[in-house]
Structure 1
Amino acid sequence: MYHNILIIKMSAIGDVIHALPVAHALKQTWPDCRITWVVERAAYDLLTNNPDIDEIILFDKPQFKSLAGLIKHAPALARLLKSRRFDLALDLQGLGKSAAITWLSGAPKRLGYCNMRELSHWVSSPVCGAHKDGHVVERYLDVVRALGCSVDEVVFPIHITLEEQGQAEIVARQAGLDISQRYVVLAPGTNWPTKCWPTAYFAELADMLYDASVIPVIIGGPGDRRLADEIVAGAAIPPVDLTGRITLKQLAHIIKRASAFVGGDTGPMHLAVAVGTPVVALFGPTDPRRNGPYYGSNIVLQSNRNCLLCWKRTCEKICLAPIEPDKVLAAVHKVARRK
């Protein structure tokens, strides 16, 4: 049995969501263990009020970007980590920065998952289990299976407080959305240009949803403002726009109450899966067998280009353009009926 366990999974939002079942599996196996999670600011909210996580350590990445920052902040981080006397550290990031944190923790047993990079496998032992070529959620769970944890059920523990629910509904009403109405969440933003579905298609889909008496709701971070503006400008009736207006946990509540979710390989898509909302996922350069919606009543629509699964971040082609709005609308109606 392990008593003090450190999980290092700092970013991105979707990756942190994928790792949540690890904490749940550990707690199910060893209910009295103490779990500490190191995370960056962008995904911090996902871990708050989580019954499976006892402590969250914020890794403020900008503080460590320069040599002066490292000299100033690394000793305090090391003291904090070592004071917890971890007996197990799980590096689920598999990069140089996570390897450094794993090493500083002083944990005598250190594990990672298959395909660790940037020499992180020198610090933690990679676990290549039965799912090493499968979905990333299963790859992470193979690490705790190697410790003797039985994963009877894959659970994504995200706890949305009543206050967070209320705040989300206030912001939604201010934007023109009553969440008791039928609505579909549209997520145009992604971290790779090749993962983006054309904004003109989102605008066309929004009009089709209005015609079907369903309210389209755009979500995204501040960096998605341009995409949202293009959709609003291109639609005959402007969709409800929540871009940059809500926190992650408020977003989780909005998505949870939706009839369906439409988006690419991005954090909010995985958040929709975690809270149980049916997803229509749009894929091109990345592999849905690894990164797609993990479970639930979901549909994956893939581009039909011959360069599918190229894993390129940029390209002269609009990768997802072959996926037409009417196909997405039909998929939305299909998954919404399942909810």
Structure 2
Amino acid sequence: MKNFLIVKLSAIGDVIHALPVAYALKEAYPDCHITWVVEPPAYDLVNMSPYIDEIILFEKKKFKSLGGFLHEYGPLKRKIRQRRYDAVLDLQGLFKSAAIARLGKAPVKLGMCNMRELSDKISRPVIGPHAHGHIVERYLDVARALGCPVNEVRFTLNVPEREADLSQQIFAQAGANMANPYVVLAIGANWPNKRWPAENFAKLADWIYDKQLIPVMVGGGIVDEQRAAEISSYSDIPPLNLVGRTNFKQLTYILQNARLTIGGDTGPVHLSAGLGTKTIMVMGPTDASRNGPYGQLANAIEVSHSCRYCWKRACPKNMDCLQNITVEQVIKKIEEIC
């Protein structure tokens, strides 16, 4: 039996994009054992994959002080070294993931093509046929380098029955029946310039209501809660607000059963695409060829700015990057695919 160690710690969208690697390994080596090292925010996602056998939690904040490092390093090392691995896959490609990959005993250590922070000194970067393609395929190139044919790309996530039931209850408490058709609006994103304007979400929500569908806002954190309040204030009828009310297992169930998901380049939107739900992504600072909704790249709507794909977290020109993607453009795309 082969043993593989995957190091992919964060962020949510990146972990989602890496999930098909686990299936690719199982497809090629059905009896293999896959251990995945992940940080707490993405734990629930990895835990829902039927193809991952063991999860090691890396709590970065505990390593930040010298005392914390000395206390945590030994247990982490022992957990990782409970097995000898046939290969270690560093799909993060940063200093912290390289430090973890270094602990794994394996004859082969591979990483993705875009490794940084000297991580390529520990694992060999795989410059595969998709080195300039979608990030999902860049990760899968690492699996291909291990002999995986990658005949099928699967993001399979199994939601526990209890979490499915709780999702329906949360929906009902917010004022709607999940059995009725609904559209998910992923209103947030880590980068401010990846967020579609609140006014646009509000206009779109009103249009969705007019089509006898329920607009449902999802997200988390203070910024998203503020945006949800802003969107509600601009709307004729406030959308159903589930911001901050779901964990990732519940969000997964909600996305699985949605008619459609709309939002920027952010974790819930990538999760929606991976689950096979129809997904529209509005994009500006990042490009669809790398980060668009996987399997649905035709559903990405990109800004017309000449400076798009700048990959900057804040616009150096102080523009609202996504403002020129109109509600009408999104409605046209909805009518094309639904």
TM-score (norm 2): 0.96
Distance in 1 between the 2:292 and 2:48 partners? 27
Show the counterpart of 2:334. 332
Where in structure 2 are there 5+ consecutive unaligned residues?
Answer: none
How big is each residue's C-alpha offset from its partner over 1:89-146, in whole Å with a ceiling of 9 and x where there is no partner?
1000000000000001222311001010000000001100000000011111111111
**In the aligned structure 2, how far is the partner of 1:314 from the partner of 1:43?**
25
Q: Is the 8 A contact 2:289 2:297 kept in 1?
A: no
Structure 1: runs of 5+ lacking an equivalent: none
2:152 paired with 1:153: yes
1:319 maps to a residue whose letter is: C
Moved more, 222-231 or 18-27: 222-231
Q: What pairs with 1:192-231 in structure 2 (closer than 5 Å)?
A: 192-223=191-222, 224-231=224-231
- What does 1:82-93 correspond to in 2, within 5 Å? 82-93=81-92
- Tell me the CA shift for residue 260 of structure 1: 0.6
1:323 aligns with 2:322: no
Equivalents in 2 of 1:256, 1:155: separation in Å? 14
The letter of the residue matching 2:311 is W
Partner of 1:17: 16
- Judged with a 3 Å threshold, the aligned counterparts in structure 2 of structure 1 residues 90 and 293 are, in CA distance, closer, same or farther, namely same
Q: Distance in 2 between matches of 1:136 and 1:66?
A: 33
What residue in structure 1 maps to residue 238 of structure 2? 238
Residues 334 and 297 from structure 1, CA distance in 2 versus in 1: closer, same or farther, beyond 3 angstroms? farther
CA distance in 2 between counterparts of 1:188 and 1:296 reads 20
* 2:10 counterpart SS class: coil
Q: What is the distance in 2 between the residues matched to 1:328 and 1:166?
A: 32
Q: Which amino acid aligns with 2:282?
A: L
Distance 1:250 1:73 in 2: 31
Identity of aligned residues (%): 51
Which residue number corresponds to residue 102 of structure 1?
101
1:147-296 matched pairs, under 5 angstroms: 147-223=146-222, 224-296=224-296
Q: 1:273-322 CA distances to partner (integer Å, 9 max, x unpaired)?
A: 11111011100010110000111485111111121111111121000000
Q: How far apart in 2 are the matches of 1:97 and 1:3?
A: 25
Query: What is the CA distance between 1:183 and its match in structure 2?
Result: 1.0
In structure 2, C-alpha distance between the alignment counterparts of 1:297 and 1:11, rounded to whole Å: 23
Q: Distance in 1 between matches of 2:194 and 2:296?
A: 22
Structure 1 residue 233: deviation in Å? 1.2
TM-score, normalised by the number of residues in structure 1: 0.96
Alpha-carbon distance in structure 2 between the residues aligned to 1:236 and 1:130: 49
Match of residue 75 from structure 2: 76
| Deviation (angstroms), 1:334 | 2.5
How many residues get paired?
A: 335
Task: State how far apart, in whole Å, the 1-side matches of 2:210 and 2:303 are.
Answer: 26
Q: What's the RMSD between the two structures over aligned residues?
A: 1.2
Verify the 8 A CA contact 2:283 2:302 in the aligned structure 1. Answer: yes
Q: Which residue of 2 aligns with 1:41?
A: 40
Distance in structure 1 (CA, Å) of the matches to 2:144 and 2:101 = 20
Aligned residues of 1:98 and 1:120 also touching (Cα < 8 A): yes
Structure 1 stretches of at least 4 aligned residues deviating more than 4 Å after TM superposition: none
In 2, the alpha carbon distance for the partners of 1:297 and 1:113 equals 22
Give the AA of the match of 2:333: A
Task: Tell me if the contact between 2:86 and 2:108 (Cα under 8 Å) persists in the aligned partners.
Answer: yes
Distance 1:265 1:49 in 2: 22
**Residue 166 of structure 2 aligns to a residue in which SS?**
helix
Counterparts of 1:36 and 1:298 in 2: how far apart (Å)? 34
State the shift of 1:326 in Å: 1.7
How many angstroms does 1:188 deviate by?
Answer: 1.2
